[in-house]
Amino acid sequence: MRIDFQTEPSRYRHWKLRVEGPVAELILDVDEAGGLFPGYELKLNSYDLGVDIELADAVQRLRFEHPEVGAVVLRSGKERVFCSGANIRMLAGASHDHKVNFCKFTNETRNAIEDAGASSGQRYLCAVNGTAAGGGYELALAAEHIVLTDDGASAVSLPEVPLLAVLPGTGGLTRVTDKRRVRRDLADAFCATEEGVRGQRAVAWRLVDEAVPNSRFEAVVRERAAALAAASDRPAAEGIALTPLARDFSEDAVTYSSLSVEIDRARRLATLTLKGPEAAAPESAEAAQAQGAGFWPLRLARELDDAVLHLRLNEAEIGVLVFRSAGDPARVAGYDGLLEADHWLLREVRGLWARVLKRIDMTARSLVALVEPGSCFAGTLAEVVFACDRAIMLAGRFEGDDRPPATLAPGPLNFGAYPMGNGLSRLATRFLGEPESLGRAEARAGEALEAETCEDLGLVTFVYDDLDWEDEIRIFLEERASFSPDALTGMEANLRCAGPETMETKIFGRLTAWQNWIFQRPNAVGEDGALRRYGSGRKPAFDPKRV
């Protein structure tokens, strides 16, 4: 079964989106029979990947289609339960790679909720009326403000350790301590308590912002949402519709309008070719908005995001992603010049590129960029090169090829517009020990640089001429395929997360290492483990050895 990450509100089975002026509501009302796979029911507003695909789509649509919305209320459409978290039957029956990629995607979606407030002025409030357990509370944690019903029953909890022998996989531990500043000892007590914390104690422990009686709950939620919206800088503008992507899937390829993906199963690699714009950039932000979802940087970002998610979840044995590009770098630079403008839509396009590039950073595949004649790695597209584990560039031309030599053209947006999870640009992360090298590279921004200059500036890893090109690429790819995929995932995740530690790098570091390991331990997933025995009335049998 191919998991499809494209959807739209008329197809939602689990979420309802309502917009009234500057405030929107996202209402979680899960269809129990609407699981992505057979074998489980999504009871008590529990969720699987399909539920989160809809949420991710709604979060993105609110940014592009509703610039007038300054506040979004997350709430439940069911009585006495907000969300009981990830569906346990789904987790117990899912393959290991699906569980980890599911957790990764839900983390990225919650990061997008936080980014909407920080970068776009679209701030989230969570109205918890009922139980918010596990991933349900982790969803609430993504919001800027949490209002809890103080009715003696409604509670927030992270019960994964006592009930399931795993961790809150979508950032719960980190957000409790680093975002909400819950005391470590209280956090320990909270995470070891199955029933969670209610009412004013939840406020005192900083697990929620307010606990209000049922009689005042709706009024308080409305007041807080209105205040968040009033403080937003979102414009009273008309949005653009995120129309469906044009895609064609075949056995070994996916073709989009500005991107092609070719899969070589024998060598376990996929080649992604980014296609530059066919025409010059629009003359103004207003002209770009008139193009809607067809605006080239927006269209390519959405296509690249879809392709990366497809490869993650549907092509688990593909170990290497090779990035190529084709087009006119001058045209790409022209679009970058437009993207620098201060306009709500261009801000959103830059934000989408930032999130897509982070998605690439956190994809458990080896990443290599090949910069050749005919490439258009300039500005924003050059950021893909800087995201890769290796960047290899051809010096000169191929024999018989009359195209100009390959160039790489960093632009102003490469020096801060697209931060990594550590808060630094990819070039700043590359040059952590060489601040003067970052300055040298920035001084050449806007220039189309040939191979020897790129090598001297440290913008690429290796430079080869046409005599060595094919052999060196082949040797690299064969070597990568010979290594342990597990060891590569760990190595690449460590190296890509260089520099300052942030809440975001902690979340993904813990997911890559701790949760990846815990999800394979018999105490969690063995026949006598907690996930298998949950709800059976039988206690799990734990191996007591600490590792």
Domains identified in the chain and CATH numbers: 9-230 (3.90.226.10), 248-494 (3.90.226.10)
- Structure confidence by residue, pLDDT tens digits, 269-286: 999 999 999 999 999 999
What's the gap between Cα 450 and its chain centre? 33
| CB-based contacts of 158, cutoff 8 Å, min separation 6 | 133, 134, 137, 138, 168, 172, 173, 176, 190, 191, 196
Phi then psi for 164, rounded to 5 degrees? -125, -10
- Structure confidence by residue, pLDDT tens digits, 213-223: 999 999 999 99
What's the gap between Cα 168 and its chain centre? 17
Q: Which of 522, 535, 547 is nearest to 163 (CA)?
A: 535
* In the predicted structure, residue 125 carries a pLDDT above the cut 90: yes
Length of the chain: 547
| CB-based contacts of 170, cutoff 8 Å, min separation 6 | 86, 103, 106, 107, 110, 135, 138, 139
Query: CA-based angle 302:306:311, to the nearest 5?
Result: 150
Residue type, 105: F
Whether the CB-CB separation of 305 and 255 falls below 8 Å is answered with no
Q: How far is CA 373 from CA 335, 369, 399, 402, in A?
A: 21, 13, 11, 9
Sheet containing 15-20, strands listed edge to edge, beginning at the edge strand earlier in sequence: 15-20, 23-28, 71-76, 123-128, 145-149, 210-212
Q: How far apart are CA 448 and CA 333, in angstroms?
A: 10
Six-digit token string for 389: 């584990």
- Structure confidence by residue, pLDDT tens digits, 136-158: 999 999 999 999 999 999 999 99
Q: Which of 19, 43, 39 is nearest to 30 (CA)?
A: 43
- Structure confidence by residue, pLDDT tens digits, 371-384: 999 999 999 999 99
Q: What share of the chain is helix, strand, coil (3-state, %, to 5)?
A: 45, 15, 40
Q: How far apart are CA 50 and CA 7, in angstroms?
A: 10
- Structure confidence by residue, pLDDT tens digits, 27-86: 999 999 999 999 999 999 999 999 999 999 999 999 999 999 999 999 999 999 999 999
Strand ranges in 339-476 using DSSP code E only, listed in sequence order: 366-371, 390-394, 462-464
Q: How far apart are CA 448 and CA 451, in angstroms?
A: 10
